[in-house]
């Protein structure tokens, strides 16, 4: 039977570091690498989509110097324009995170028996 620290370390890696890090630690390199790549793709895809909207709003308003530029209305307008896409990226990332935690738990349970 594995020690308590060894049992919880892969789960904590998935929770606090990156989905797939626990699988990588448990020597499931392909599965861990794919989960890490997919989670980074979702994170960067959602963030780049949102930032593209922010830059489009800034360009439409006309860029000004920082002392007279208020960022919060720009962020709010970009969110209002296409918030559904950003929410779907977050839902997909959260689902991947939960599935990776459950997968590590299943791998450990399988190796214990």
CA dihedral 75, 78, 82, 85 (to 10 degrees): -50
Model confidence, pTM:
0.80
59 — pLDDT class (breaks 50, 70, 90)? confident
C-alpha 104/C-alpha 34 separation (Å) is 14
74: Cβ contacts below 8 Å, ≥ 6 apart: 54, 57, 58, 61
Note the pLDDT of residue 4: 67
Residue 79 in contact with residue 49, Cβ under 8 Å? no
C-alpha 30/C-alpha 10 separation (Å) is 15
Select the more confidently predicted residue: 67 or 3.
3
106: Cβ contacts below 8 Å, ≥ 6 apart: none
State pLDDT tens for residues 14-27: 999 999 999 999 99
99: Cβ contacts below 8 Å, ≥ 6 apart: 19
- Stated length of the chain: 113
Q: Where are the domains of the chain?
A: 4-112
């Amino acid at each position: 039977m594995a020690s308590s620290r060894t049992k919880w370390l892969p789960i904590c890696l998935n929770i606090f570091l990156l989905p797939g890090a626990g699988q990588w630690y448990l020597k499931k390199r392909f599965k861990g690498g794919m989960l890490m790549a997919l989670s980074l793709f979702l994170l960067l895809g959602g963030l780049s989509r949102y930032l593209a909207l922010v830059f489009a709003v800034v360009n439409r308003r006309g860029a000004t110097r920082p002392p007279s530029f208020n960022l919060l209305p720009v962020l709010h307008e970009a969110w209002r324009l296409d918030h559904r896409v950003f929410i779907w990226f977050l839902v997909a990332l959260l689902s991947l995170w939960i599935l990776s935690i459950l997968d590590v738990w299943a791998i450990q349970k399988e190796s214990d028996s």
